[in-house]
Amino acid sequence: MSPFSPSANAFPPTVCGTLTGQHMYFETGSTGNAGILEIAKGTTDGNRNFQIKVTYFTCDNLAKAPAGCTQYFTAVSGSFQSYNHAGNQLLAEMNYNNCFRQREGFCRLALSESTAMNPDAFLLSDPPTMAESDCILLSFLSFSTPTTSMFCGGILNTVDGDTVPGVVTSGPGSSFIVGLQTLDGDLSDLSGFNLDFTQVPCT
């Protein structure tokens, strides 16, 4: 974890692959070394390129992500992807939170699979064609709804065994956080996720 954060999820994960358009927050101290970025290119041949923008936020900046948030989204609606989803490969040993700034007048967060279906918009584990919520021993998303808090398999839905993607919505008072935990091992047949999010107005 970050030595400057009380959250166990505050240390940035090791990422690779195609990361175009992705971002990552890392908590730093106000003095001394802010952090170290290490890039390992390996020994095999191949085209590798990167362009990384670094931005520092003051402690009172409203754009600063809350503690323990590796990714932070402030819009009412949009999309977000697992790291290297564009490379069609779910990364191993991920344990981080995607956080959404709750806007005034909005009480719940709704998620659905993106209509951009290539790569597959949701494929975290077997079975690849069904929704699954018994995910303890699998790679999974954590997101609190009135009926379940874990999502895996190949379809995003709250109904186990469903083969049609649906909209999953947080319950009133639930946090606007979507966590990802993945196994340590071969995940070569899994693409990760590409999800749309929408904040739902209070009623």
pLDDT of residue 39: 84
Which amino acid is residue 141, in one-letter code?
L
Stated length of the chain:
203
Alpha-carbon gap, residue 102 to 92, rounded angstroms:
29
Characterize 160-173 residue by residue with b for buried, 16 or more Cβ atoms within 10 angstroms of its Cβ, and e for exposed. Answer: eebeebeebbbeee
Give me 159's structure tokens. Answer: 């109904």
Quick one: pLDDT at residue 194? 97
Task: Render each residue's pLDDT in the chain as its tens digit; 203 residues.
Answer: 455 555 555 567 889 999 999 999 987 766 666 667 788 877 777 778 889 998 888 888 888 898 889 999 999 999 999 999 999 999 999 999 999 999 999 999 999 999 877 899 999 999 999 999 999 999 999 999 999 999 999 999 999 999 999 999 999 889 999 999 999 988 989 999 999 999 999 98
Centre a 10 Å sphere on the Cβ of residue 76 and count the other Cβ atoms it contains. Answer: 15
Q: Where in the sequence is the domain holding 89, given as residue range(s)?
A: 1-203
The total of structural domains in the chain comes to 1
Parallel, antiparallel or unpaired: strands 95-100 and 71-73: parallel
pLDDT at 27: 79
In CATH, what number is assigned to the domain containing residue 108? Answer: 2.60.120.290
How many Å is the Cα radius of gyration of the chain? 17
Question: How far apart, in whole angstroms, are the C-alpha atoms of residue 45 and residue 181?
Answer: 31
Q: What is the pTM of this model?
A: 0.90
Please say whether the beta carbons of 90 and 176 come within 8 A: no
Query: What pLDDT shows up at residue 1?
Result: 44
